[in-house]
Amino acid sequence: MKKIKLEILGLSFSQTQSGAYALVLGEEEGKRRLPIIIGGYEAQAIAVELENMQPARPLTHDLFRNFAIEFGVHIDEVIIYNIKEGIFYSKLMCNNGSEVKEIDARTSDAIAMAVRFNCPIYTYEFILSSSGVVLEEGAEIDKPKSLPKKSEKKALEGSSNPEAEYSTLSMEELKESLMRAIDEEAYETASKIRDELTKRKKSSQQ
């Protein structure tokens, strides 16, 4: 099958799933777009690299990249090769100089590795035909307001009762705070924000 090259157009808050993001890939020589719903942590991993940010310590995908490079393994390309029941399936095409190996991966992880190895992303026509959408002329992809630039922490992080402060924030503000906390490796804060998001999601389902 002929491969179709994709490029990353942007990330935006998912309109259908709370706490999730839409990663939008675009056909390099066409108008079709492929939106893929991914989690907040994966969105952060992709955004960190796209924004050329330098975390204080290596994130998980950075560790994997460093490990691969140290042992002479390079990712040549990422292929989104199938979709079943709304779930995209991807693989990393890895090269150690003497042979090429395919490694199955979640699409969000595969894209996070693609941006770190600066390698192309491909898919097939049947995937774009079934799941692609055509972006209207002049339409733009919004990037999350929280795609962070090492911003200062919110005042609420210094609050004597941050849980109470979280309860006053909107869902979007909580998501932005979560992304910032992860970026700054404030994992305890991130955990509390995530708990608040989970609590609200359960309440909305009752």
Domains plus CATH for the chain?
A: 3-134 (3.10.690.10), 155-205 (no CATH)
Entry pTM: 0.66
Whole-number Cα distances in Å, 155 to 17, 63, 133, 171, 185: 28, 31, 41, 17, 17
Question: Using one digit for the tens of pLDDT, what is the confidence trace for 137-172?
Answer: 555 554 443 443 333 333 333 444 455 567 778 887
DSSP for 14-83, written as a single string:
-SSSTTEEEEEEEETTSSEEEEEEEEHHHHHHHHHHHTT---SS--HHHHHHHHHHHTT-EEEEEEEEEE
Residues 6+ apart with CB under 8 A from 37: 14, 16, 17, 20, 21, 22, 23
- Which regions in the chain score pLDDT beneath 70? 14-18, 135-165, 181-191, 205-206
Alpha carbons 33 and 11: distance in angstroms, whole number: 12
Give the model's pLDDT for residue 151.
34
DSSP assigned state of 145: T
**Structure tokens that stand for 111 in this block:** 């894209």
Question: Using one digit for the tens of pLDDT, what is the confidence trace for 93-114?
Answer: 999 999 999 999 999 999 999 9
Taking the alpha carbons at both ends of the chain, their separation in whole angstroms is 46
Alpha carbons 197 and 178: distance in angstroms, whole number: 9
